[in-house]
């Protein structure tokens, strides 16, 4: 039998129903046995918490329980219990089994088995080659991600296999995605970079920093690549249809404009969903693998010489791989009556100065007063966040009653700015929380510092008071310049959810954002040429993503000089920037990847609000694209 005949026979065999049923049962059996064995092994592992020795004997009175000590023990026990959590392995086994079963029912069971055996043989042969061994994880990652992408693409094609115009167009878009060099370039680049990313992490860095770097690069990098692919491919699939005149064959079926736009959008969105699912699964599985590695101060994961937990492990489990709720400081309470008087005086002076410069030209007094009022309030809050050398300032955090009740650790996170934030300068500040003893901290300018606290720092009213002195209270040494905290540079946070649930919410938000971007590209392609549509679509995408950054930058963008004179050009720039950032505020404020990397909770309320706004934009673009396409004469025979 020739090799070609043998392959044909094997292909017919893997298409049989009996083979698919038996192979599925075998995969499920192997997965169940593997999961059971791992669970038994984990449950048999001994506790890493040393037993507490309680003195006994006549005349010995047990010491009363110390609330702080009891809270510390509870935190340690809770973190060490994560070592017995089998959820991550169960998810990994379930995902792997799901991909294999899907491959079997797609008629690719023996194909994947052969490729897997070939890859295993090559890896076994290269295992003892020192120059090749460091790159084996890259090869394994490439193989796994490529196999998952191929399987999910086949499933996606099956999902849009219904016989109607919208599904048919979406199916053609998916087929076009693996043929077009533009989309193929992004797909290959995405898979390669995600597989290579673990090799770029610094093995000597603390585990929590490596985890944050991987989460930030893995999620945000993947999203931006998928987003660029979504926008550009959405433009290309419409404009290339018009350039190559293949749209004639579609519109004359007949297919209505709304069906054409909906089909193109659905195909691009499904492609983005496939890539997001592949990268999301890859990121999640490597995060769980990295979590099981030893942190700083550990001989093995979760185990230290003293039997407790290291600071690196504590911050990883309670500050990074969680869903934290953060609270900023309460704003400074101002005398509204006096503030209004000051604003009126300043407004009168400004109006008089402007009238002297422009004569009898009309002045928008209401807008001028509103602008002055906003600037004065901003200046007051900035002064509240600034502390001169040797001086002190008191702050208060409210709404932390849930943190006290949860008995979870509380984290103080702050960033100090001074002058030009010289990276070589070390400042010493004195911190006191509530009625506790003060503590002197040496900090690096422009970088976040995290201090872990016990939940007892929160009082019965759910508030925490914080006093900060710009200097060393013990030695009397002062820092050379005033210090200040940016708007997001002073917060208290506590855990209020799990990382895994937060990760799923982040993926949901990212997919909804991709729905908007897919429709953006398709809509622009209906009435613009390819280069112009790409330029406009990318500009809108960058404006939407950067809206939050622009909004925060406006906090330090002044419309007056040091003498109090209005800078009219700055007012125009500020008005344009505020308008753009306001329009995309709901889209940009979600910040799913940033919140995930920082361990901040993305609530379902935020998800619903952002999703509603993104879907509203999508609907508006859909209507615009449909109207644009309907007004164009794309399928009229010219006679030539």
Q: Is the pLDDT of residue 51 over 70?
A: no
The owner of tokens 């309320």 is: 605
Give the best-scoring range by mean pLDDT among 120-134, 389-403, 588-602. Answer: 389-403
Domains identified in the chain, total number = 1
With CA atoms as reference, report the closest residue to 107 among 6, 186, 12, 36: 12
> What tens digit of pLDDT does each residue of 478-530 get?
999 999 998 888 999 888 888 889 999 999 999 999 999 999 999 999 988 89
What are the C-alpha distances in Å from 116 to residues 34, 133, 175, 288?
19, 18, 25, 23
Which domain, by its residues, includes 98? 1-50+64-134
Token pair belonging to 320:
């990074």
Mean pLDDT, the chain, as a whole number?
80
Pairing between strand 386-387 and 322-328?
unpaired
User: CB–CB of 402/587 below 8 Å?
Assistant: no
pTM exceeds cut of 0.85: no
Is residue 338, in this structure, part of any structural domain at all? Answer: no
Is residue 140, in this structure, part of any structural domain at all? Answer: no
Predicted confidence at residue 624, as pLDDT, reads 93
Task: Kindly state the average pLDDT of the residues 9-19.
Answer: 80
> What tens digit of pLDDT does each residue of 339-396 get?
777 777 777 777 676 666 555 545 566 666 677 777 777 777 788 889 999 999 999 9
Q: Is the pLDDT of residue 169 over 80?
A: yes
Q: Is the pLDDT of residue 48 over 50?
A: no
> What tens digit of pLDDT does each residue of 304-329 get?
766 667 888 888 888 888 888 888 88
Q: Where are the alpha helices (DSSP H) in 385-472?
A: 401-406
Burial of residue 119 (number of CB atoms within 10 Å: 0-12, 13-18, 19+): middle
Is residue 94, in this structure, part of any structural domain at all? Answer: yes
Q: Is the pLDDT of residue 211 over 60?
A: yes
Q: Is the dihedral of CA 396, 397, 403, 405 positive or negative?
A: positive
> Between helices 17-44 and 87-105, what is the axis angle to 10°?
170
Which of 117-126, 156-165, 273-282 comes out lowest in average pLDDT? 117-126
> What tens digit of pLDDT does each residue of 433-491 get?
888 888 899 989 988 888 888 888 888 888 999 999 999 988 888 999 999 998 888 99
The owner of tokens 């040393």 is: 50
Is residue 103, in this structure, part of any structural domain at all? Answer: yes
> Chain-centre distance of CA 247, in angstroms?
38
Q: Is the pLDDT of residue 562 over 60?
A: no
- Rounded distance between C-alpha atoms, residue 158 and residue 155, angstroms: 5
Q: Where are the alpha helices (DSSP H) in 321-364?
A: 336-358
Residue 230 pLDDT level (bands cut at 50, 70, 90): very high
Predicted confidence at residue 511, as pLDDT, reads 92
Predicted confidence at residue 54, as pLDDT, reads 47
Predicted confidence at residue 531, as pLDDT, reads 92
Which of 47-51, 64-68, 165-169 comes out lowest in average pLDDT? 47-51
- Residue 316 DSSP class: I
Token pair belonging to 270:
């499904």
Is residue 224, in this structure, part of any structural domain at all? Answer: no
- Rounded distance between C-alpha atoms, residue 315 and residue 450, angstroms: 9
Predicted confidence at residue 233, as pLDDT, reads 93
> What tens digit of pLDDT does each residue of 234-246 get?
999 999 988 888 8
Give the best-scoring range by mean pLDDT among 143-152, 176-185, 521-530. Answer: 521-530
Q: Which residue has the higher pLDDT, 385 or 63?
A: 385
Q: Is the dihedral of CA 36, 38, 44, 46 positive or negative?
A: negative
Predicted confidence at residue 196, as pLDDT, reads 83
With CA atoms as reference, report the closest residue to 503 among 275, 261, 240, 281: 281
Residue 214 host element (H or E)? helix 207-215
Cβ neighbours around 189 below 10 Å, total: 13
Residue 53 pLDDT level (bands cut at 50, 70, 90): very low
Is residue 514, in this structure, part of any structural domain at all? Answer: no
Predicted confidence at residue 497, as pLDDT, reads 83
Is residue 100, in this structure, part of any structural domain at all? Answer: yes
Is residue 621, in this structure, part of any structural domain at all? Answer: no
């Amino acid at each position: 039998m020739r090799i070609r005949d043998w392959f044909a026979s094997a292909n017919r065999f893997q298409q049989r129903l009996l083979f698919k049923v038996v192979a599925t049962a075998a995969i499920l059996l192997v997965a169940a046995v593997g999961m059971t064995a791992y669970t038994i092994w984990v449950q048999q592992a001994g506790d890493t918490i040393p037993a507490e020795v309680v003195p006994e004997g006549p005349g010995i009175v047990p010491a009363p329980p110390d609330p702080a000590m009891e809270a510390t023990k509870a935190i340690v026990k809770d973190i060490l219990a994560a070592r017995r959590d089998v959820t991550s392995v169960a998810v990994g086994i379930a995902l792997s089994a799901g991909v294999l079963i899907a491959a079997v029912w797609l008629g690719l069971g023996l194909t994947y088995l052969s490729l897997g055996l070939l890859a295993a043989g090559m890896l076994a042969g290269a295992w003892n080659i020192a120059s090749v061994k460091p790159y084996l994880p890259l090869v394994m990652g490439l193989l796994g991600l490529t196999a998952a992408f191929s399987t999910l693409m086949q499933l996606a094609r099956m999902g849009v296999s219904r016989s109607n115009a919208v599904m048919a167009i979406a199916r053609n878009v998916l087929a076009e995605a693996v043929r077009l060099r533009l989309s193929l370039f992004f797909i290959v680049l995405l898979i390669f970079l995600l597989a290579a990313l673990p090799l770029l992490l610094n093995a000597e860095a603390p585990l929590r920093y490596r985890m944050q770097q991987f989460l930030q690069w893995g999620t945000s990098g993947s999203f931006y690549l998928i987003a660029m692919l979504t926008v550009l491919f959405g433009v290309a699939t419409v404009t290339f249809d018009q350039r190559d005149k293949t749209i004639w064959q579609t519109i004359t079926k007949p297919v209505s404009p709304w069906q054409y736009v909906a089909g193109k959008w659905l195909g691009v969105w499904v492609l983005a969903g496939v890539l997001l699912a592949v990268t999301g699964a890859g990121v999640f599985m490597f995060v769980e693998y990295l979590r099981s590695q030893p942190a700083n101060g550990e001989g093995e994961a979760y185990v230290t010489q003293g039997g407790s937990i290291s600071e690196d492990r504590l911050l990883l489990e309670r500050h990074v791989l969680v869903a934290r709720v953060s609270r900023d400081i309460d704003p400074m309470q101002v005398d509204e009556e006096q503030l209004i008087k000051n604003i009126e005086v300043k407004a009168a002076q400004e109006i008089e100065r402007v009238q002297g410069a422009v004569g009898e030209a009309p002045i928008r007094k209401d807008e001028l007063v509103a602008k002055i009022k906003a600037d004065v309030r901003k200046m007051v809050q900035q002064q509240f966040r600034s502390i001169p050398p040797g001086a002190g300032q008191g702050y208060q955090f409210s709404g932390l009653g849930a943190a006290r009740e949860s008995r979870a650790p509380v984290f103080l996170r702050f960033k100090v700015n001074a002058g030009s934030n010289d990276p070589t300068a070390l400042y010493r500040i004195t911190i006191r929380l509530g009625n506790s003893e003060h503590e002197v901290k040496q900090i690096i300018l422009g970088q976040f510092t995290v201090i872990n606290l016990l939940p007892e720092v929160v009082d019965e009213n759910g508030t925490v008071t914080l006093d900060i002195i710009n200097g060393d209270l013990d030695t009397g040494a002062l820092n050379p310049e005033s210090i200040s905290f940016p708007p997001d540079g002073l917060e208290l946070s506590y855990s209020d959810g799990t990382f895994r649930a937060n990760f799923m919410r982040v993926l949901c938000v990212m997919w909804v954002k991709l729905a908007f971007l897919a429709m953006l590209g398709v809509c622009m392609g209906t009435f613009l040429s390819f280069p112009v549509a790409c330029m406009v679509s990318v500009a809108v995408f960058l404006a939407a993503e950067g809206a939050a950054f622009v909004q925060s930058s406006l906090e330090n963008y002044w419309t007056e000089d040091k003498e109090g004179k209005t800078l009219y050009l700055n007012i125009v720039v500020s008005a344009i920037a505020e308008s753009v950032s306001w329009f995309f505020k709901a889209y940009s404020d979600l910040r799913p990847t940033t919140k995930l990397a920082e361990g901040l909770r993305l609530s379902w309320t935020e998800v619903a609000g952002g999703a509603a706004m993104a879907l509203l934009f999508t609907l508006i673009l859909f209507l615009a694209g449909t109207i644009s396409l309907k007004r164009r004469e794309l399928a009229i025979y010219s006679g030539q």
